[in-house]
Amino acid sequence: MKRRFVRVMSSTVLAGVMVFSMGMSAWATTTDALEEVTSTEFTKAITTDGHTYAPNTKFEFVIKNGEAVKEKDIKAGVEGGLTVNYRNITFDPATDTFSNNGYSKKGELSVVVTNDTFQAPGVYHYTIKETIPETSYSGIEYDKRVYDVYVTILNTAKNDGLYCAGIRTPKLDDDGNPVLDSEGKMVKADSLVFTNDYGAANDSTHDVTIAKKVTGNQADMNQAFDFVIIVNADKTGEIFKYEKNDAAITTGSIAGDGKSEVTVSLMNGEAVTIYGLTDGDVVDVHEKDIYASAEYGYKVTREFTEGVEMVDGNEDTNGFIAKITKDSSKVEIENNKNVGAATGLALTFGPYVLMVGLAGVFAVMFLRKKNGIDEI
């Protein structure tokens, strides 16, 4: 009995050593060999600058049969053995909660084990990648990585069929290459993630700040000036964040349909910033004309930085219609009301002074004439 136990333990240890010595094959079959695995999740992630709403688009994925690796005893994938559920992962700025950390959704890889797919046990090789559309979504940098996926198929305990015992994928570095450990073996990925940059690390989504400046000796520094903001996006369904730098840091959103508008009041020194703009979006911002009327009498001028590209026919100095092509773009709208003291006094009281002067002259002449008559 004791000898039999020793023989069993020795065989188990030897088998374990052989399994781990198989490199990739062992990496793909460990931990899940005792229970059936039918699927595994992957993540579709979008990173932003923290101020941008989710894009209004979908992402597609494709699975292909990978090549066999004979030295690792890895077989080529068989058609239909690995499939993608949620093939189209859709984001919608109207329904996806705004996030400062970007956006993510789950997809699923499923293994189909039938007599028509896997016909023998082994480790099968597949690849999965994100489909890059012919017309890319403005501002999005697509993930070009191709993940290798290894599916382990084993005989059932009763040898009456096959089942999936593991789905594994190697960890990739920033360049899309497998990460190796100190022994030169591939490191298993904790999760399979496809990441799309949407203005987080590159300048593909932009912001523009509209700043209010009030000058002049007749200017009311406590006056709030109303600005009307409209965005005409190059993609339907987009939403943009705006943020006013007042004491409360007021934030809100505006639809990019070219029709919806938001009115923001700005005093001297205040500003409002619009985020999430791409090169094809058109921003229309104008101060209400009443401030340049006789009632208020302000002269309105504007200055703008590089990155604010005015569209044709936009000559209004009380605002702008432009495409924004750089981060931290800025437009300053200045309202000036300045009246010189001396000039103002002459214009205001000059006619009255002249009348008084003429009255004095006539009075002198009249009195002199009267005195002359009395003396005769």
State pLDDT tens for residues 202-239: 999 999 999 999 999 999 999 999 999 999 999 999 99
Does residue 355 carry a pLDDT above 70? Answer: no
What is the arithmetic mean of pLDDT over 129-147? 94
pLDDT confidence of residue 249? 80
Among 319, 245, 252, smallest CA distance to 282 is for 319
Mean pLDDT of 336-349: 64
Least confident residue range of 66-70, 85-89, 179-183, 335-339:
85-89
What is the amino acid identity at position 281? D
Assign residue 248 a region: left if phi > 0, alpha if psi is -120 to 50, beta otherwise? alpha
What was the pLDDT predicted at 362? 53
Residue 15 has pLDDT above 60, yes or no: no
Q: What are phi and psi of 242, to 5 degrees?
A: -125, 155
Domain 206-336 sits in CATH at 2.60.40.1140
Whether 246 and 271 have beta carbons less than 8 Å apart is answered as no
Task: Provide the pLDDT confidence category of residue 278 given band limits of 50, 70 and 90.
Answer: very high
**Pair 376, 370: CB distance under 8 Å:** no
Q: Show Cβ contacts of residue 67 under 8 Å, excluding neighbours closer than 6 positions.
A: 76, 125
pTM for the model: 0.78
pLDDT computed for residue 312 by the predictor = 78
Per the prediction, the chain carries an average pLDDT of 84
Residue 189 has pLDDT above 90, yes or no: no
pLDDT for position 51: 96
**Residue recorded with tokens 């943020």:** 243
Answer whether 22-197 and 206-336 agree in fold. yes
Spatial distance between the Cα atoms of 251 and 241, rounded to a whole number of angstroms: 7
Which amino acid, 38?
T
Q: Which of 265, 275, 282 is nearest to 333 (CA)?
A: 265
Residue 319: in which H helix or E strand, if any?
A: strand 319-324
Q: Which two tokens stand for residue 249?
A: 């840091």
Q: Are the C-beta atoms of residues 152 and 171 closer than 8 Å to each other? A: no
48-75 burial, b at 16+ Cβ within 10 Å, e below that, comes to bbebbbbbbbebebebebbebbeebebb
**119/346: higher pLDDT:** 119
CA distance 233 to 259: 11
Beta-strand pair 329-336/206-215: parallel
Extents of the domains making up the chain: 22-197, 206-336
Q: What is the pLDDT of residues 80-111, one digit of tens each?
A: 999 998 778 999 999 999 999 999 999 999 99
Q: Domain 22-197 carries which CATH code?
A: 2.60.40.3050
DSSP string over 133-184: -SSPPTT-B----EEEEEEEEEE-TTSSSEEEEEEE-B-B-TTSPBPB-TTS
Q: Check pLDDT > 50 for residue 12.
A: no
Provide, rounded to the nearest whole percent, the portion of the chain with pLDDT above 70: 81
Cα separation, 48 vs 104, whole angstroms:
11
Q: How many CB atoms are located within 10 Å of the residue 311 CB?
A: 12
Q: Name the band, by pLDDT with cuts 50, 70 and 90, for residue 190.
A: confident
Contacts of 49 (CB under 8 A, 6+ apart): 199, 200, 205, 207, 275
